[in-house]
Amino acid sequence: MTLHIRGTTTGPIVLGPNSKQLTTITSTGAVISSGDGIDGPATNPWPIANDGTIAASGGLGISLAAGGNVSNGPGALISGGIAGILINGARGAVANAGTIHGLDTGSTVVNTTLVVSGDGIALVTGGSVTNAVSGSISGAGPRGSGDATGSGVFITGGSGKATNYGSVNGGAYGMALDAGGSVTNSGSIGGTEDGVKIDGAIGRVVNSGSVVATVDDGVALFAGGDVANAPGALIKSGPGFGPNPSAAGVFIATSGSGTVENGGSIDGAIFGVFAGTGSVTNAASGSIGGSTAGVIFNPLAPNSGPGTLVNAGQISASGGAGADLEDGGSVTNASGASMSGSAFGVFVGGAAGTVTNAGTLTGGAASVHFGGPGANVLVVRPGAVFNGPVTESNGTLTVTGSPDSATEVFQLDNGTLDVAAAIGANATINFINPSPSTLAIDNAASFGTDVGTNSYTGPLLEDFSADDIIDLKHIGTGVTLAPLTPSGLLQVSNGSRVVADLAFQTSSGASFQTTSDNNGGVLITLATPST
């Protein structure tokens, strides 16, 4: 038997065996209650279709204790003081084209421990929610009392699936899925704490609309997962809270791996994307921004794994690093792309990293800084621009590609720079004292232009000191050094042929000596003064 409600009825209505097939509230129907509106007992799942009004000022608009499904039609209203809809006992499904409100005038305890208060929709045993273009879902509960308070959509106890074409808002979370699941959004989702939060298992967010938080993270995946943000879409954080705010446009916890693919805008107050490990791909149409970092990997979990960043758009940080890889990894910056930070365009620490640049890297302290131990690599592609020096400390740096197409400043601080390709004649290599550093030149004939002639131009070597070394690889061991010229040029000959030219910053009385590098080349150091 089907129960139809066409007029105004005082609730709560407790469903019984004769109404289990379908309960409908027509467009002229209304259930008004100071407690619950409609209760479905734990005897079987309940289907409810509402085209009218269900208003329960002090309780639950609809409460189904054995699962079920609810459809709320265009122009229809479901509201509850505790929650608009609560489905428990089995998976639930809600399809909304009208309005669903949780008013936060009370609370209820589910399964002895879970306190539900002020949610628009609460599915306590997993399930799905679909919100149509005309649909509006909101939870008025405040932030700070857990995910079951103040969520527009709250799903726990099983995986959740939420699809939004309309509007979803929460006083705490726009959507909170506590047992993993997926959110697909082409409408708008807003939350105070987070726009979308997924915890407990892998999460996936596909956004072609807007996801905005007014206090903390735009999207937060606490067990890892992936985020796809389409061209024209927006994910934005609030300013953060507490003495050390960490608000991110996209937050992926350090305990899980994450993948972010962005073609729209990701805007974080502190971090654009904050990830434990994984990968970020930013398309030509994409922009990612933060204050401390545009993209950061492993900020709180040293040695947990490298990060991978591929950028064809714009990544920026107003107060730190465009990209910050705290445990090494790789960065690729495509032609026409840009990465910038007030301190670093790219910062690589903790472990070795590879940076490939065909676009523009800009940093106030360094366009690229390699600070981790191990074998770092810089690949320079035609058209690359470095606004700021390339700096290296504590490891080795090999330069490959087409570095002669770019003008760079390399700063060595207790590290090794291995030039494996032709380097620009206008480059500068600075040996930072007092830390000893090594410049290794794989092919001396391409270290500058017009090597061995009076027209030689090549990289300028600055602040070379007693503890620094230049390794000229594969030129033989029977070499001689000509006296340093007044302009600071040191010529290295093998027999009658000049095989290398080195341009030093100053010639102020410096003299040099050679020893074998035990691999077919020579090491050049400052000569030890005689006593």
Q: Do 130 and 156 belong together in one domain?
A: yes
Residue 241 covered by a domain: yes
Q: What is the band of 151 on the pLDDT scale with cuts at 50, 70, 90?
A: very high
Whether residue 317 is predicted with pLDDT greater than 80 in this model: the reply is yes
- Domain stops at, among 348, 371, 399: 348
**Token couple for 78:** 């479901």
The mean per-residue pLDDT over the stretch 13-21 comes to 76
332-377 per-position pLDDT tens digit: 999 999 999 999 999 999 899 999 999 999 999 999 999 988 899 9
Residue 90 covered by a domain: yes
Q: Rounded to whole angstroms, how far apart are CA atoms 527 and 510?
A: 8
Confidence (pLDDT) at 496? 85
Give percent of the chain with pLDDT exceeding 70: 95
Q: Do 508 and 448 belong together in one domain?
A: yes
| Bridge partner residues of 189 (DSSP) | 168, 211
- In angstroms, what CA-CA distances link 328 with 99, 275, 316, 357? 48, 13, 19, 16
445-448 CB contacts, 8 Å cutoff, 24+ apart:
445/499, 445/500, 446/404, 446/421, 446/422, 447/419, 447/422, 447/423, 447/500, 447/501, 447/502, 448/423, 448/501, 448/503
- Domain stops at, among 348, 376, 407: 348
The mean per-residue pLDDT over the stretch 413-421 comes to 81
- Cα three-residue angle 329-334-338, rounded to 5 degrees: 90
Token look-up 């993270």 returns: 217
Q: Do 172 and 274 belong together in one domain?
A: no
The mean per-residue pLDDT over the stretch 507-528 comes to 86
Residues contacting residue 264 through CB under 8 Å, at least 6 positions apart: 207, 208, 229, 230, 231, 232, 233, 234, 235, 285, 286, 287
Residue 191 covered by a domain: yes
Residues 107 and 135 sit within 8 Å (Cβ to Cβ):
no
Q: Do 230 and 298 belong together in one domain?
A: yes
| Bridge partner residues of 228 (DSSP) | 206, 261
Residues 412 and 437 sit within 8 Å (Cβ to Cβ):
yes
Q: Do 172 and 276 belong together in one domain?
A: no
- In angstroms, what CA-CA distances link 29 with 60, 68, 428? 18, 21, 80
- Is cis: bond before 12, omega within 30 of 0? yes
233-270 per-position pLDDT tens digit: 999 999 998 888 899 999 998 777 899 999 999 999 99
Q: Rounded to whole angstroms, how far apart are CA atoms 314 and 289?
A: 8
- Cα three-residue angle 310-311-317, rounded to 5 degrees: 115
Confidence (pLDDT) at 44? 87
Q: What is the band of 421 on the pLDDT scale with cuts at 50, 70, 90?
A: low
Cα dihedral 341, 342, 348, 349 sign: negative
- Domain stops at, among 171, 201, 231: 201
How many helices and strands in the chain, by DSSP H and E? 0, 60
Q: Do 250 and 296 belong together in one domain?
A: yes
Q: Do 135 and 123 belong together in one domain?
A: yes
Residue 149 covered by a domain: yes
Reference 359, options 298, 311, 321, 291; nearest CA is 311
Q: Do 172 and 233 belong together in one domain?
A: no
Number of domains the chain is built from: 3
- Cα three-residue angle 194-195-196, rounded to 5 degrees: 90
Confidence (pLDDT) at 255? 74
Residue 147 covered by a domain: yes
Q: Do 503 and 425 belong together in one domain?
A: yes
Whether residue 531 is predicted with pLDDT greater than 60 in this model: the reply is no
Residues contacting residue 209 through CB under 8 Å, at least 6 positions apart: 164, 185, 186, 187, 188, 189, 233, 234
Residue 275 covered by a domain: yes
Q: What is the band of 20 on the pLDDT scale with cuts at 50, 70, 90?
A: low
Q: Do 76 and 175 belong together in one domain?
A: yes
Confidence (pLDDT) at 81? 94
Instruction: Provide DSSP, 134-179.
Output: T-EEEE-PPTTS-TTBSEEEEE-SS-EEEEESSEEEESSEEEEEBT
- In angstroms, what CA-CA distances link 180 with 98, 110, 235, 399? 26, 20, 20, 43
471-491 per-position pLDDT tens digit: 999 998 789 999 888 889 999
Residue 363 covered by a domain: no
Expressed as residue numbers, the domain containing 166 is 1-201
Residue 369 covered by a domain: no
Q: Do 446 and 477 belong together in one domain?
A: yes
- Is cis: bond before 434, omega within 30 of 0? yes
Q: Do 179 and 212 belong together in one domain?
A: no
376-410 per-position pLDDT tens digit: 999 988 888 999 999 988 888 888 877 665 667 88
Confidence (pLDDT) at 304? 66
SS3 215: coil
423-437 per-position pLDDT tens digit: 766 788 999 877 789
